Amino acid sequence: MASMIADYVIVGAGSAGSAIAYRLAEAGKSVLVIEYGGTDMGPLIQMPGALSFPMNMNRYNWGFASEPEPYLNGRILATPRGKVVGGSSSINGMVYVRGHALDFEHWQDMGATGWGYGDVLPYFKRMEHWHSGGHGGDADMRGSDGPLHVTRGPRLNPLYSAFVEAGRQAGYPVTDDYNGYQQEGFGPMEQTVWRGQRWSAANAYLKPARATGRCDVVHGLAERIAFTDGRATGVHLAGGRLVEARAEVIVAASSINSPKLLMLSGIGPAAHLTDHAIEVRADRGGVGQNLQDHLEIYIQMAASQPITLFRYWNLLGKAYVGARWLFTRTGPGATNNFESAGFIRSNAGVQYPDIQYHFLPLAVRYDGQAAAEGHGFQAHVGPMRSASRGDITLKSADPMEAPRIRFNYMSDPQDWADFRTCIRLTREIFAQEAFAPFRRHEIQPGEHVQTDDELDAAIMEHVESAYHPCGTCKMGAADDPMAVVDPECRVIGVDGLRVADSSIFPRITNGNLNGPSIMVGEKASDHILGRSLPKSNAEFWTHPGWAISQR
């Protein structure tokens, strides 16, 4: 049996795994990263404007899908996860959101001691190389020399400023840095793009880690964790190979694959493991539970002027965008085209934003299908903190078989009220004077859709995942029966094993999850190395009238 050995073995070359690999190698440790997917080379991944391609390609995507969702009329929703170096950071929409300060305060309240806002802010700063592009922002709350380049799109299209101005006209705050002091409001959206190229965790962390000579990537499917005398000592790969760890094994395989690997290794709900004839090593009822995601709906408007990205939605246009990007790294291919954002509160009494907007000057779906109307624009909108919870369970003990993914989307009655609010508030924003020169009529869901029942029918038909699954190996206090890892990311009840990725989030954060996932990798690496950054005492903004006013 071929043997490979290093100080640390990391399962997954994604957002958190790459960050951990870099920090451990930087500290002089030897690291082997196990990754099932292949190379991230080539324009389909590296060109930001091509983002809909890798997300829909079996070569780069695990191709997971939910079970028929009981509250969405049995719809099966796509659940893409990156099967490539860089993981989901190589196929995602490149939107960069840290999350709200109070998200992390809530983590701490849930038993993730040492993960409050003051604890995580130094790690966000350490990972960032932030470029404001001359658009203001809170430089003292941002990082200036980290591996992860964070930029802002050029916002050349007049629709980007119309969206922010419409938010202001509707009575909402404007913020010039939602990742700084004030998240709430409308302003520029940030992206993990640098010099026109996708700045994935592979580009930011894994390539520099490999350049040290202390980190290498082993390609293979992790089947189960190897144990010696009750301690994790390596990982068994398909084909009979064993990758051994002198110090620790770190699982960073995603909120779908991390709980699957733990369960295949005998760590999880005992009854479920016994059903699949898997020997129970640690009875942890929380493994695979607490699954959360963000759902969103696209509110699409037909445009009265031919100024949208639809002008490139033909063979010649796409050829122009591609060629311009290849030769100059500029143009519509050099941005994810999500360049304006909004974070608002749904009601008085909501302390911090629970609705997010991504604005796009094109009416299109994630699968790349443009609206039949031609020129248009859209806002992706959805609630941030649904109470609905799902789970990841094994279909069988075969490591090649995908797990069963059940989100239970919209299972909480409040979700329906929240989504109706999202649609009505979005319509109000699009009705503002700032959009008067640009709007024709509503494409989706359509102006005729007005009553609660009509809206609910549209929601059931049109909601899509924002692809933010998390929470399936929850971090919490060691005496919490549903916690899987302790606040140092150590798997409770097992030695030598940690989990560090979006699966450990106790609760989903505000916005897109790539930023917080990388932060988890950064902070976990310090726990592994037995060190920590000094806590920040930075303040953050909450709306002074939040208790009595929605805006």
Query: Is 401 within a domain?
Result: no
Q: Note the pLDDT of residue 2.
A: 45
CATH code assigned at 509: 3.50.50.60
Mean pLDDT of 57-81: 97
Query: Is 545 within a domain?
Result: no
Q: How far apart are alpha carbons 406 and 76 in whole angstroms? A: 10
For 137, phi and psi rounded to 5 degrees? 105, 175
Q: Note the pLDDT of residue 182.
A: 98
Taking 80 as the threshold, does the pLDDT of residue 366 lie above it? Answer: no
Query: 337 with 425, same domain?
Result: yes
Query: Is 397 within a domain?
Result: no
Q: Note the pLDDT of residue 1.
A: 40
- Please indicate if the annotation marks 84 as binding a ligand: yes
* Last residue within a domain, chosen from 462, 481, 502: 462
Query: Is 531 within a domain?
Result: yes
The structural domain count of the chain equals 2
- Please indicate if the annotation marks 94 as binding a ligand: yes
Query: 531 with 416, same domain?
Result: no
Residue 332 lies in domain: 154-188+295-383+411-462
- Please indicate if the annotation marks 92 as binding a ligand: yes
Query: 81 with 224, same domain?
Result: yes
Strands (E), 40-161: 64-65, 78-79, 128-130, 148-152
Query: 325 with 280, same domain?
Result: no
Query: 160 with 309, same domain?
Result: yes
Query: Is 388 within a domain?
Result: no
Query: Is 93 within a domain?
Result: yes
* Last residue within a domain, chosen from 444, 462, 480: 462
Q: Note the pLDDT of residue 500.
A: 98
CB 146 within 8 A of CB 126: yes
Query: Is 546 within a domain?
Result: no
* Last residue within a domain, chosen from 462, 483, 505: 462
Mean pLDDT of 382-390: 98
> Of the candidates 448, 445, 309, which has an alpha carbon nearest to the alpha carbon of residue 381?
445
b/e map 322-349, b = 16+ CB within 10 Å: bebbeeebebbbbbbbbbbbbbbbbeee
Query: 262 with 372, same domain?
Result: no
Q: Note the pLDDT of residue 190.
A: 98
Strands (E), 334-476: 340-344, 355-360, 376-383, 391-393, 404-406, 439-444, 464-465
* pLDDT tens column, 403-422: 999 999 999 999 999 999 99
Q: Note the pLDDT of residue 383.
A: 98
Q: Is the peptide bond before 445 cis (omega within 30 degrees of 0)?
A: yes
Query: 326 with 379, same domain?
Result: yes
Taking 60 as the threshold, does the pLDDT of residue 512 lie above it? Answer: yes
CB 350 within 8 A of CB 546: yes
Query: 378 with 425, same domain?
Result: yes
Averaged pLDDT of the chain:
96
Query: 303 with 240, same domain?
Result: no
* pLDDT tens column, 330-365: 999 999 999 999 999 999 999 999 999 999 999 987
Query: 250 with 341, same domain?
Result: no
Q: CB neighbours of 504 closer than 8 A, spacing ≥ 6?
A: 473, 474, 475, 484, 485, 489, 520
- Please indicate if the annotation marks 95 as binding a ligand: yes
CATH code assigned at 176: 3.30.410.40
Mean pLDDT of 124-150: 93
Tokens of 259: 């709980």
> Of the candidates 153, 104, 147, which has an alpha carbon nearest to the alpha carbon of residue 125?
147
- Give bridge partners of residue 8 from the DSSP assignment: 31, 248
- Please indicate if the annotation marks 56 as binding a ligand: no
Taking 80 as the threshold, does the pLDDT of residue 196 lie above it? Answer: yes
Give the Å distances, CA to CA, from 54 to 44, 84, 189, 232, 358: 6, 10, 22, 34, 20
For residue 307, the number of C-alpha atoms closer than 13 Å in the C-beta half-sphere is 14
Mean pLDDT of 102-107: 98
Query: 134 with 240, same domain?
Result: yes
Query: 141 with 174, same domain?
Result: no
Residue 222 confidence class, pLDDT cut points 50, 70, 90: very high
Taking 50 as the threshold, does the pLDDT of residue 284 lie above it? Answer: yes
Query: Is 274 within a domain?
Result: yes
Would you name the residues annotated as active-site residues? 468
Mean pLDDT of 122-130: 98
